[in-house]
Amino acid sequence: MVKKKAKKKAARRAVRKPEAEFPKKHRIEVEVNGVKYTHEVEPRLLLVHYIRDVLGLTGTHIGCDTTNCGACTVLMDGEDGRWKAIKSCTMFAVQANGRRILTIEGLAKGDELHPLQKAFWEHHGLQCGYCTPGMIMSALGYLMINPNPSEMDVRKGISGNLCRCTGYQNIVKAILAAAEEIRSSGRPIL
């Protein structure tokens, strides 16, 4: 009996031990949708989990979790200061230290939807809606590179995003309409 208990205790210690000495948590400062946050994070925490579970911004979705589907797409400022679409399931939160991030929640200005959001609504660019935040953020990243795309360009631009309802026709229409709207308004894309 005593032996059994000691064994159990040793086993528990063996499980706990690595956690106690490793890994070290890291302090990160990030700005998400204009709000500054500071947190202590474990290195293995993925950016998408940080956004969803720590910040509570659940508009960014997790689809495939294998860098294929693009549901987790957000914008992050690059080394050159420009916004870039990235897959937040394929980056560690600790790497986002000092960066600015924009998620779908940061797109609308008060009650006024972003032209891309409006166009997805008007052109029925969604069915179940699961891929939509990623599609919109991806389209936004692409329109920043190419504000006057052809239909083929748009299809290439969102090739990293999957819509399992296969609603691509209207998604492409919506992005083309939004591009036109942004160009004719003369306003900056963001």
Partner 1 sequence: MIPKQFEYFAPKTVGQAISLLKKYKEDAKVLAGGQSLIPMMKLRLAAPKYVIDLNNIKGLSYIKEAGGVIRIGALTRHAEIEHSPLIREKLPIMAEAAEWIADQQVRNLGTIGGAISHCDPAGDWAPNLLALDAELVIQGARRRVVKAVKFFKGPFETDLKPTEILTEIRIPLPRGGRVGQAYMKFERKAGDFATVGVAANLLLNDNNEIVKAGIGITAVAPAPFRASEAEKILVGKQPTAELVEQAAQAAADMAQPWSDLRGSAEYKKEMTRVFTRRAVKRALERAGVTL
- Residues in contact with partner 1 by CB under 8 A are 18-19, 22-24, 26, 42-44, 46, 49, 65-67, 70, 73, 78-79, 84-87, 89-92, 94-95, 138, 141-142, 145, 156-161
CA–CA separation, 115 and 179 (whole Å): 8
- Mention every residue, 6+ apart, whose C-beta is less than 8 A from residue 42: 23, 25
Residue where the block lists tokens 């957000």 = 74
Smallest gap from Cβ 56 to partner 1, in A, equals 19
- What burial class does residue 30 get, using C-beta atoms within 10 Å of its C-beta: 0-12 exposed, 13-18 middle, 19+ buried? buried
* Shorter beta-carbon distance to partner 1: residue 47 or 182: 47
Closest residue by Cα to residue 122 from 177, 165, 50, 69: 177
Report the residue number, 2 or 152, with the smaller CB distance to partner 1: 152
Helix axes 168-185, 132-145, angle to 10 degrees: 40
Q: Which lies closer to partner 1 via its Cβ, residue 7 or residue 156?
A: 156
Q: Nearer Cβ to partner 1, position 30 or 46?
A: 46
CB 72 within 8 A of CB 61: yes
CA 43 to chain centre: 18
In the complex, minimum distance from the CB of residue 5 to partner 1, in angstroms, rounded to a whole number: 28
Q: How far is the CB of 3 from partner 1 (least distance, A)?
A: 31
**Of residues 106 and 134, the one with the C-beta less far from partner 1:** 134
Task: Report the DSSP pairing between strands 73-77 and 26-32.
Answer: unpaired
Pick the closer one to partner 1 by CB: 124 or 156: 156
DSSP 3-state of 114: coil
